[in-house]
């Protein structure tokens, strides 16, 4: 089905105050026969890719990431992407596969960040699922705020622990103008709520 072997790779988050790695995000890659790595992203955006195959790939990469994270320093966190697409397919009160994987891994949930992607496709069940992640002890991040479908009302409803700004919004803010005011307002909101804002 996929042209390559699924592999979890890690992208670091740098703490700007210390210059040290604070955590890593797990990303899906496919290793081809010649050893080269290719992003699995196009598969997830291709409507012809069967959802069952994508779920299998998603869970395999997450399993690898959790297994390898045992080797990371104890003060790092691991960010795992979660698509609302999968959430909408769950039955009400169904056990969350990502939480079952986390429990089996033996990793402290406080070191895990579930990163919500594709807010435009978020299901009505999303706030309840986010609450279950929090009850398990994990943190919540919202990806690519300021790009595409990201909506402020979703941010207010989910109250994330981490808000990842879209790089284009961050670059525009650095040049001044309206985007700069938006980022300043977000920074003030973050200070009041304890949310951590990072730029991808």
For 108-164, the pLDDT digits (tens) are 999 999 998 765 555 677 888 899 999 999 999 987 666 554 456 667 778 889 888
Residue 20, helix vs strand vs coil: coil
List the structure tokens of 25.
């995000």
User: How many folded domains does the chain comprise?
Assistant: 1
**Residue 131 CA: distances (Å) to CA of 101, 127, 158:** 17, 6, 8
Q: Which domain holds residue 122?
A: 48-199
Question: Residue 111 contacts by C-beta under 8 Å, 6 or more apart in sequence?
Answer: 69, 74, 76, 77, 78
Establish if 24 belongs to a structural domain. no
Residue 133: per-residue pLDDT? 94
pTM for this predicted structure: 0.80
Question: Residue 108 contacts by C-beta under 8 Å, 6 or more apart in sequence?
Answer: 137
Q: Which residues of 118-140 are buried (b: 16+ CB within 10 A; e: fewer)?
A: bbeebeeebeebbeebbebebbb
Establish if 69 belongs to a structural domain. yes
Establish if 43 belongs to a structural domain. no
Establish if 7 belongs to a structural domain. no
Instruction: Please say whether the beta carbons of 76 and 12 come within 8 A.
Output: no
Establish if 5 belongs to a structural domain. no
Establish if 77 belongs to a structural domain. yes
Establish if 27 belongs to a structural domain. no
Total count of residues recorded for the chain: 200
Q: Report the DSSP pairing between strands 196-199 and 162-165.
A: parallel
Instruction: Please say whether the beta carbons of 136 and 146 come within 8 A.
Output: no
The upper half-sphere exposure of residue 24, i.e. CA atoms within 13 Å in the direction of its Cβ, equals 18
Establish if 68 belongs to a structural domain. yes
List the structure tokens of 38.
């290719």
**CATH, residue 88:** 3.20.20.450
Residue 14 pairs in a beta bridge with: 21
Distance in angstroms (rounded) separating the CA atoms of residues 95 and 92: 9
Q: What is the pLDDT along the chain (200 residues), one digit of tens a residue?
A: 567 788 999 999 887 677 789 999 999 999 988 989 998 888 877 888 888 888 889 999 999 999 999 999 999 999 999 887 777 777 777 889 999 999 999 999 999 999 987 655 556 778 888 999 999 999 999 876 665 544 566 677 788 898 887 777 778 888 888 878 887 887 887 777 788 877 66
């Amino acid at each position: 089905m996929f042209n390559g072997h699924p592999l979890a790779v890690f992208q670091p988050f740098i703490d700007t105050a210390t210059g040290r790695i604070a955590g890593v995000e797990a990303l899906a890659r496919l290793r081809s026969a010649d050893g080269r790595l290719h992003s699995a992203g196009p598969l997830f955006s291709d409507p012809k890719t069967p959802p069952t195959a994508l779920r299998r790939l998603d869970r395999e990469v997450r399993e690898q990431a959790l297994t390898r994270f045992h080797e990371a320093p104890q003060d790092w966190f691991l960010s795992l992407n979660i698509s609302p697409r999968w959430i909408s397919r769950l039955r009400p009160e169904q056990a969350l596969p990502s939480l079952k994987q986390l429990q089996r891994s033996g990793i402290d949930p406080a070191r895990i960040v579930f990163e919500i992607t594709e807010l435009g496709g978020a299901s009505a069940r999303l706030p309840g699922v986010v609450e279950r992640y929090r009850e398990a002890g994990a943190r919540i991040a919202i990806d690519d705020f300021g790009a595409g479908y990201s909506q402020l009302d979703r941010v207010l409803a989910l109250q994330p622990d981490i808000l990842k700004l879209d790089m284009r919004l961050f670059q525009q803010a650095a040049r001044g103008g309206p985007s700069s005011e938006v980022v300043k307002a977000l920074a003030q909101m973050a200070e009041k709520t304890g949310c951590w804002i990072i730029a991808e």
